[in-house]
Amino acid sequence: MRKLLPNQGRFIALLAGAFVFLFPFYYMLIGSLQTEPDPSVKGAFPSPGNLTGHNYLEIDAAINLGRSLLNSGIFTGGVILGTLLFGVLAGYALARLQFRGRSAVFGLMLLIQVIPFQLLTIPLYVMIVRSYGLADSYLGMIAPFAINSIAVFVFRQYFLQLPQELFDAARVDGATELNILWRIAVPLVRPALLTGVLLTFIGPWNEFLWPFLITKQQNLQPLAVSLSNYLTTVSARAANPFGALLAGACVLAVPAVTLFIIFQRRFISTSLDSGIKG
């Protein structure tokens, strides 16, 4: 009986924490289905007669949800691909290759992390749009985020944990550095790859400032930009602008939640010493 009470207390505490965490998502979903907005506490438990799917049709007619989602997928997918490719290569080089100036490069990489992206917005815009001519293009949106210093740091730390004997044995067998990276190092740091995907996905998926600067064409804008434009331009003309905006937010949140649910079970630590006998 005494052991049961502490367990019940922990269960109640976890249940309360889950409720506090999930309630904003619940309220967002309920608000997106309301015919008439109800900001009171009663609005969190609406009557069936006040529920409709018209808000989703209205936001889709205003900003084309399908096209905006496709743009978000292209933008975010390009950023993730660049982050993983350059992050793995740079992280491996900083962790396992010996070259002059390695410590200086690592120090500069850490310095970049303390510089707010907002300070770089204007020079990046001038470089991307005027120097490279990448305005109104997906590449112009992807390029500034293709190399993520945080991802490089994460991959470097994982590669440093791998036993040196694995790399020495591979070099003795005549393997090139790319073969060592692809066949030995990368399979052992899969948790880092998943972490990099999730951390990278959240940023560009919700980014609206930079894509808005690069293009004003609605058929190229990601969903976050389209929702921001909707809020500042045509939302006042909607029958229920509050519900339509929450409907767009639900569509924006679904891929992120789905990705987390799929990957959350895979965040397990691997035995980095498994390749060493004894």
Confidence (pTM): 0.82
Q: Which CATH architecture fits 55-265?
A: Orthogonal Bundle (1.10)
Q: What average pLDDT does range 67-95 have in this prediction?
A: 93
By mean pLDDT, which of 5-19, 36-50, 56-70, 243-257 is the weakest? 36-50
- Band of residue 274 on the pLDDT scale cut at 50, 70, 90: very low
Angle made by CA atoms 186, 191, 195, in degrees to the nearest 5: 110
**Greater confidence, 91 or 233?**
91
Assess whether pLDDT exceeds 90 at residue 138. yes
By mean pLDDT, which of 88-92, 159-163, 181-185, 190-194 is the weakest? 190-194
By mean pLDDT, which of 16-25, 76-85, 103-112, 225-234 is the weakest? 225-234
Helix axes 102-113, 149-161, angle to 10 degrees: 130
Q: Are 221 and 211 in contact (CB under 8 A)?
A: yes
Q: What average pLDDT does range 33-53 have in this prediction?
A: 77
Q: In the chain, where are the structural domains located?
A: 55-265
Q: Are 172 and 244 in contact (CB under 8 A)?
A: no
Three-class secondary structure of residue 51 per DSSP: strand
Assess whether pLDDT exceeds 60 at residue 219. yes
Q: What average pLDDT does range 245-264 have in this prediction?
A: 84
Q: What average pLDDT does range 250-260 have in this prediction?
A: 86
Give dist(CA 60, CA 248) in Å, integer. Answer: 8
